[in-house]
Every structure is written in C-alpha cells, then in structure tokens.
Amino acid sequence: MSLDQANAFRDYVSQNEDVQKEIRSALMTESAKVSEIAAKHGFSFTSEEGEQAWDAAQDNELSDFELDMVAGGRSLGPPC
C-alpha cells in the first residue's frame, strides 16, 4: 500500500470515464468506498493514503472530474 498507488489511481481515474461514473455512483449511493473501487482496478492504498493524495491534489491542479466532484459538494477523500 502506498501513497504512490493513490496518486496513480488519481491519474487513472482522470483518464477513464467509466471509473469516474463508477465513483460518482458509489459516492451518491454510498454503495462503495473509493479505495474499494481502486482495489477492483488493481490499485492498493489505505484510506489515509487516499486522503493524503486528495489533499495534495487540492494544492495543485485538479482534473475536470475532481473539479466536478468539488463543485458538486462531494469529496474523493474519505470515505476511502
């Protein structure tokens, strides 16, 4: 498990609309955690590492998907 994996997942999501839809759905229905979706796609990181990656992303440039999540009042941080 690593912060590198959490950051790699951010990059993966930014390029994969199907995963973005999966995350949106999970966040709206609380049917899964982001880290569970990440694991399904081959990424492994703790909730804390996911939160660190999200916090670091907010200090830098966010992807369109991440901006959409922020604008919608959602967080890609916890629950991971």
Q: What is the pLDDT of residue 78?
A: 46
What are the pLDDT tens digits along the chain (80 aa)?
Answer: 588 999 899 889 989 999 999 988 888 888 778 889 999 999 999 888 888 887 777 777 777 777 777 666 555 554 44
Q: What is the pLDDT of residue 44?
A: 93
> Cβ neighbours of residue 60 under 8 Å, at least 6 residues apart?
none
Q: What is the pLDDT of residue 19?
A: 94
Q: Which residues of 36-65 are buried (b: 16+ CB within 10 A; e: fewer)?
A: ebbeeeebebeeebbbbbbeebeeeebeeb
Q: What is the DSSP letter of 41?
A: T
Which is nearest to 79 in space by CA: 20, 16, 19, 36?
36
